Amino acid sequence: MNHPLGAPASLPQVAIVVLNWNGWNDTVECLEALQQLEYPDYRIIAIDNGSSDASVARIQQWARGELPVASALVHYDTSSKPVCLAEYTSVQAEVGGVAELEAALERAPSGRALVLVTIGTNQGFAAGNNVGLRYALACGFPYVLLVNNDVMVDRDVLSQLVSCLEGRPTWAGVAPKVLQRSDPGRVLYAGGTLRLWQARAVHRGRFTPDGPRWCGTRTTEHLSACCALFRAGFLRDAGLLDETFFFGQEDVALSCVARERGWQLGVQLDAKVVHNEGRSLESRPAASVYYYAKYRLLLLTKHGSRLQVLVGFLFLGLSRLVKFALALLRGRSHLIKAEIRGYRDFFGGRLAEYDREQARAAG
Q: Which of 106, 134, 149 is the last residue of a domain?
A: 149
Q: At residue 332, what are phi and psi to the nearest 5 degrees?
A: -115, 45
CA distance 226 to 206: 14
- Amino acid found at 255: S
Of how many residues is the chain composed?
Answer: 363
pLDDT of residue 284: 81
Q: What percent of the residues of the chain are helix, what percent strand, and what percent coil, each to the nearest 5?
A: 45, 20, 35
pLDDT of residue 145: 98
pLDDT of residue 5: 34
Instruction: Please indicate, yes or no, if residue 189 is contained in any of the structural domains.
Output: no
For residue 184, say if its preceding peptide bond is cis, omega within 30 degrees of 0.
no
The rounded average pLDDT for each run of 10 residues, N- to C-terminus, in the chain (363 residues) is 46 97 96 97 97 96 96 93 97 98 96 96 96 98 98 97 96 98 96 95 96 97 96 97 96 97 98 84 82 97 97 94 93 95 97 95 80
pLDDT of residue 258: 97
Instruction: Please indicate, yes or no, if residue 212 is contained in any of the structural domains.
Output: no
Instruction: Please indicate, yes or no, if residue 271 is contained in any of the structural domains.
Output: no
Residues 144 and 286 in one domain: no
Instruction: Please indicate, yes or no, if residue 118 is contained in any of the structural domains.
Output: yes
Q: Which of 119, 149, 179 is the last residue of a domain?
A: 149
Q: pLDDT per residue over 122-165, tens digit each?
A: 999 999 999 999 999 999 999 999 999 999 999 999 999 999 99
Instruction: Please indicate, yes or no, if residue 266 is contained in any of the structural domains.
Output: no
Instruction: Please indicate, yes or no, if residue 257 is contained in any of the structural domains.
Output: no
Q: Which of 133, 149, 165 is the last residue of a domain?
A: 149
Domain limits for position 316 = 281-362
CB within 8 Å of 56: residues ≥ 6 apart: 48, 116, 118
CA distance 33 to 31: 5
Beta pairing partners, 113:
84
Within 13 Å and on the Cβ side, how many CA atoms surround 62?
Answer: 27
H/E segment holding residue 200? strand 200-203
Q: pLDDT per residue over 165-185, tens digit each?
A: 999 999 999 999 999 999 999
pLDDT of residue 226: 95
Instruction: Please indicate, yes or no, if residue 338 is contained in any of the structural domains.
Output: yes
Instruction: Please indicate, yes or no, if residue 321 is contained in any of the structural domains.
Output: yes
Following CA atoms 100, 106, 107, 112 in sequence, which dihedral angle do they give, to the nearest 10 degrees?
Answer: 110
Q: At residue 179, what are phi and psi to the nearest 5 degrees?
A: -110, 155
pLDDT of residue 1: 47
Domain count, the chain: 2
pTM of the model: 0.94
